[in-house]
Amino acid sequence: MSARPAGDPTPLVSVVVAAFDEAAHMGTCLRSLRGQTYRPFEVIVIDDGSRDGTAAVAARFPEVTLVRRPHGGAGSARNLGASRARGEILAFLDADMAFPSPFLERLVAPMLEEGAIGTFTKDIRVANGGRRWARAHMLGRNLPPDTHFPPGFPDRWENFRAVWRRDFERVGGFDDVGHGEDVTLGRKLGALAVAAPGATCWHFEPETLADVARSARWAGRGVRIRETERPLSRYGPHRSIPRAARMAWRHHMPSLFLYRLVWDAGVAYGWLTRGRSRPGAK
Q: How far is CA 229 from CA 140, 268, 272, in A?
A: 20, 13, 15
CA separation for the pair 162, 14 (Å, rounded): 9
- In the chain, the amino acid numbered 71 is H
CA separation for the pair 54, 46 (Å, rounded): 10
Q: How far is CA 199 from CA 14, 207, 215, in A?
A: 17, 25, 25
Q: What is the mean pLDDT of residues 27-32?
A: 98
pLDDT grade, residue 275 (50/70/90)? Answer: low
Instruction: Write the pLDDT tens digit of every residue in 105-139.
Output: 999 999 999 999 999 999 999 999 999 999 999 99
Instruction: Say which residues have a Cβ less than 8 Å from residue 259's Cβ, sequence separation at least 6.
Output: 133, 136, 137, 140, 209, 212, 244
> Where do the structural domains in the chain lie, given as residue ranges?
13-203, 209-276
CA separation for the pair 170, 173 (Å, rounded): 8
* DSSP classification of residue 21: S
| DSSP bridge pairs for 90 | 14, 163
* Count of residues making up the chain: 282
Beta strands in the chain (DSSP E): 13-19, 41-48, 64-69, 89-94, 97-98, 118-120, 124-126, 156-157, 162-164, 193-195, 201-203
Instruction: Write the pLDDT tens digit of every residue in 161-172.
Output: 999 999 999 999
Q: What is the pTM of this model?
A: 0.89
Provide the pLDDT for residue 221.
Answer: 80
User: CA nearest 41: which of 1, 4, 10?
Assistant: 10
Q: How far is CA 157 from CA 71, 118, 154, 275, in A?
A: 28, 10, 7, 30
pLDDT at 281 over 70: no
Q: How far is CA 126 from CA 95, 201, 266, in A?
A: 14, 9, 22
Domain 13-203, architecture per CATH: Alpha-Beta Complex (3.90)
Instruction: Write the pLDDT tens digit of every residue in 48-97.
Output: 999 999 999 999 999 999 999 998 888 999 999 999 999 999 999 999 99
What is the secondary structure of 253-274 as a DSSP string? Answer: -HHHHHHHHHHHHHHHHHHHTG
CA separation for the pair 232, 269 (Å, rounded): 9
Provide the pLDDT for residue 261.
Answer: 96
- In the chain, the amino acid numbered 132 is R
Mean of pLDDT over the chain: 90
Q: Are 117 and 189 in contact (CB under 8 A)?
A: yes
